[in-house]
Structure 1
Amino acid sequence: MGFAVRRTSRAYVRPSGATPAGSLELSIIDRVVGLRHLVRSLHVFSPRAGGGQSPARVVQEALGKALVDYYPFAGRFVDGAGGPGSARVECTGEGAWFVEAVAGCSLADVNHLDHPLIIPEDDLLPDAAPGVQPLDLPLMMQVTEFTCGGFVVGLISVHTMADGLGAGQFINAVGDYARGLLKPMVSPIWAREAIPSPPKLPPGPPPELKMFQLRHFTVDVSLDSVGKVKSDYFHSTGQRCSTFDVAIAKTWQARTRALRLPDPSSRVKLCFFANTRHLMNSAWPATGKDGVAGAGFYGNCFYPVAVAAASGEVEAADVAGVVGIIREAKARLPVEFARWAVADFKDDPYELSFTYDSLFVSDWTRLGFLEADYGWGTPSHVIPFAYYPFMAVAIIGAPPVPKTGARIMTQCVEDEHLPAFKEEIKSFDK
């Protein structure tokens, strides 16, 4: 059918200018062992007028410039005496792995990579770099050009270096250089020492990871349905809520109903990762055009927000009621983060447990990826792949342009619960 992808060039892209050498210490959050994993995503750019330039060459040159500012991305992770939990970054300047590729079709031929993918994701993501363990290499990138002039950026990064906001900030810096700016619009700061470092508890045995047979399911929910819940919540509480609040409330409720737990007092759990940069005012001066504390920080700066409720309560409530449960947990964030910062806790909140009654949710709509522009406009679509067989996951994203609404991408139930879960989610728009 002509949908083959052929890789034409592979190389390390080094910083285009001089960069500091030596070791950089990571924060206590960066060094959470569970964050030493690969984050994979595809960023789809529709054909636009680009002056006949090759997107791959433009992005490659811009990447070299951005790696001067973000030089740790050109280094390597090295474990300390304590293993991955004591990792650091060696600023070697060896570079990020970069692959050029061409596809034998247009984006229209493959439905602009809307769900379900017609081209396997692994064809559009960079293949392994030689001579280095993937988890020691902070960044890998592939640019695949299509016959129509559109292209896809396949990105693989290690979560240890940056959280979602940090990775989005870096990708926007590459875009700034690609569009001809002389420096990134946001100047990066390392500042890992500003992250609180409470004494860690003695490590217990490694968690037993039970592998589930979780199935993928993706659905789009309309702005009208989301707006109705927002209105219901406002009328009952006098407070506003976000699209993310509504999307995860419906997903959690749909999953809980699908599980059909026999005891309505059984606890079901929800976890998402809240940005805490705004809680670091005493550690970071206000910088940037908006005077935001810590503007430019690209390390991991988040706190796991844990929500738990009786399954019967989640099942019986309307969606606005489930939003209320979630927002109560969000309201506790400043106090819980402050207590963690001074080691006032019994259980380490960053030591997560993965059970079938727990749902983990990630929001990809506010990370900055949808604003990245390499000179061909912003992406029509961003596709994250953050799924693990031991972890029930839902990702909130956006459907491809020009569609509107919220896209809920899940791998969170096994076969026996999938039909009921689909029916519950789809009922949201009825």
Structure 2
Amino acid sequence: MGFAVRRTSRSYVRPSAATPSGTLELSIIDRVVGLRHLVRSLHVFPAPAPAGERGAAAGSPARAVREALGKALVDYYPFAGRLDDAGRLDQYPFAIPEDDLLPDAAPDVEPLDLPLSMQVTEFSCGGFVVGLISCHALADGLGAAQFINAVGDYARGLPRPRVSPVWARDLVPSPPKLSSAPPPFPRMFQFWHLVVDLSLDSITRAKSQFLQSTGQRCSTFDVAIAKVWQARTRALRLADPSTRVNLCFFANTRHLLRGGAAGFYGNCFYTVTVSAESGAVEAADVAGVVAMIRDAKARLPAKFARWAAGELAEQDPYELSFTYESLFVSDWTRLGFLEADYGWGTPSQGEKKAKGEGLRENKKKKNRERKKKIK
């Protein structure tokens, strides 16, 4: 079955008021070559409840988002971009190719030259999808979600965003560039898409096991990535159990900056790497793998401080090396995308489409199962 999306208009959305002029410097993290890519995500909003059950907004979501976007671009003027409106459809959104729900390319414009683009697809049932494409060099996940929530604030009639944005790239340390090893010979990878369902019961059992064995508590994130890392390591079937395998994830470091960097929406993260022999990861119980992850997380403040002071002797933590033995994980469940409200309530589902990894979170599921797409 196929369904056609009819794009009814395409235009650039300008800030609704004057914005400052001048040059804005990027931070040393913003300038990481690997962040020069586009992050694609879909934010699914269900049809509103019947009148009287919920204070649903009136009118067109596309029009409301467009008007609010113009206001938000005054505060977040580096994001100034464009918005596509899409015509109404009468089928469930995921029966439609994702590319039809995301903005298409602007004529004669290099895609990476657009900091941000949006498309609103409306459905006859009253639901809609906001398709977002943003350049990672301008904002990390928390920053992009902060911007989207600002658009929602204006769409609901607030006089200003609840969080005031700050550029403040000077808050990010700028240590001397570390010497890096020559880039390895390019490797070709064959990736498979796999959806793994981790039930709430299995996560709760693992948390209980960790508490009993260590006397400490752990998070759902700790358990989820421990299970996935161990399962993936076993699936690699490495002949030598002493082969090193790595788990890498990206930790927010705003709380480690001066004053906590409230409202900062640039890139502010550090790569946390857990490394162990494959045999140890395969043979450990889940609590043991969780302990490895928590030990690496506990070292984050010290590692970040050493990097900021230019004291690291190892390779630059922002120059990532991709191998079959390394698993990269990104968690979007706590960034704030699922709190965005344009006047019709919050999304029922959000799905990230990015290079190398992804995560889908569905708020409709009562047991809050975590679904991870692993490549």
**TM score, norm. by length of structure 2:** 0.95
Query: In structure 2, what is the equivalent of residue 381 of structure 1?
Result: 349
Query: In structure 1, what is the equivalent of residue 20 of structure 2?
Result: 20
d(CA) in 1 for partners of 2:103 and 2:185? 31
d(CA) in 1 for partners of 2:12 and 2:283? 55
| Aligned CA distance change for structure 1 residues 2 and 149 (closer, same or farther; 3 Å) | farther
Query: In structure 2, what is the equivalent of residue 155 of structure 1?
Result: 132
C-alpha deviation, 1:204, in angstroms: 5.4
Q: Does 1:260 align with 2:237?
A: yes
Query: In structure 2, what is the equivalent of residue 409 of structure 1?
Result: 372
d(CA) in 2 for partners of 1:2 and 1:257? 39
2:173 to 196, 202, 214: 196
1:126 to 95, 99, 103: 103
| Aligned CA distance change for structure 1 residues 352 and 20 (closer, same or farther; 3 Å) | same
Q: Answer whether contact 1:190 1:299 (CA < 8 A) is retained.
A: yes
Q: Answer whether contact 1:176 1:374 (CA < 8 A) is retained.
A: yes
Query: In structure 2, what is the equivalent of residue 359 of structure 1?
Result: 327
1:271-282 matched pairs, under 5 angstroms: 271-280=248-257
Which amino acid letter does the alignment assign opposite residue 68 of structure 1?
A: V
Query: In structure 2, what is the equivalent of residue 421 of structure 1?
Result: none
State the SS of the aligned residue for 2:65.
helix
2:78 to 62, 72, 77: 72
Query: In structure 1, what is the equivalent of residue 45 of structure 2?
Result: 45
Q: Answer whether contact 1:3 1:103 (CA < 8 A) is retained.
A: no
d(CA) in 2 for partners of 1:201 and 1:319? 35
Query: In structure 2, what is the equivalent of residue 81 of structure 1?
Result: none
Q: Which runs of 5+ in 1 are unaligned?
A: 75-95, 285-292, 413-430
Q: Does 1:218 align with 2:218?
A: no
| Aligned CA distance change for structure 1 residues 208 and 42 (closer, same or farther; 3 Å) | farther
Q: Which runs of 5+ in 2 are unaligned?
A: 50-55
Q: Does 1:57 align with 2:63?
A: yes
C-alpha deviation, 1:103, in angstroms: 4.6
1:342 to 305, 309, 322: 309
Q: Answer whether contact 2:360 2:373 (CA < 8 A) is retained.
A: no
Which amino acid letter does the alignment assign opposite residue 306 of structure 2?
A: R
d(CA) in 2 for partners of 1:303 and 1:19? 31
State the SS of the aligned residue for 1:156.
strand
| Aligned CA distance change for structure 1 residues 32 and 2 (closer, same or farther; 3 Å) | closer
Query: In structure 2, what is the equivalent of residue 87 of structure 1?
Result: none
| Aligned CA distance change for structure 1 residues 411 and 212 (closer, same or farther; 3 Å) | farther
| Aligned CA distance change for structure 1 residues 13 and 209 (closer, same or farther; 3 Å) | farther
String of CA shifts for 1:228-273, please: whole Å, max 9, x gaps.
1111111111111111111100000010011111111111101000
Which amino acid letter does the alignment assign opposite residue 405 of structure 1?
A: R
| Aligned CA distance change for structure 1 residues 199 and 362 (closer, same or farther; 3 Å) | same
String of CA shifts for 1:191-236, please: whole Å, max 9, x gaps.
0011000011356544544231201111322111111111111111
C-alpha deviation, 1:106, in angstroms: 3.2
1:320-339 matched pairs, under 5 angstroms: 320-339=287-306
Q: Does 1:98 align with 2:83?
A: yes
d(CA) in 1 for partners of 2:179 and 2:224? 37
Which amino acid letter does the alignment assign opposite residue 314 of structure 1?
A: V
C-alpha deviation, 1:372, in angstroms: 0.6
Which amino acid letter does the alignment assign opposite residue 6 of structure 2?
A: R
C-alpha deviation, 1:403, in angstroms: 3.9
d(CA) in 2 for partners of 1:220 and 1:11? 40
2:145 to 146, 159, 168: 168
204-213 or 246-255: which moved more?
Answer: 204-213
Equivalenced residues, count: 368
Q: Which has the higher strand share?
A: 1
Percent of residue pairs bearing the same amino acid type: 70
d(CA) in 2 for partners of 1:61 and 1:405? 34
Which amino acid letter does the alignment assign opposite residue 28 of structure 1?
A: I
**TM score, norm. by length of structure 1:** 0.83
Q: Answer whether contact 1:3 1:105 (CA < 8 A) is retained.
A: no
Q: Answer whether contact 2:88 2:124 (CA < 8 A) is retained.
A: yes
Which amino acid letter does the alignment assign opposite residue 367 of structure 2?
A: T
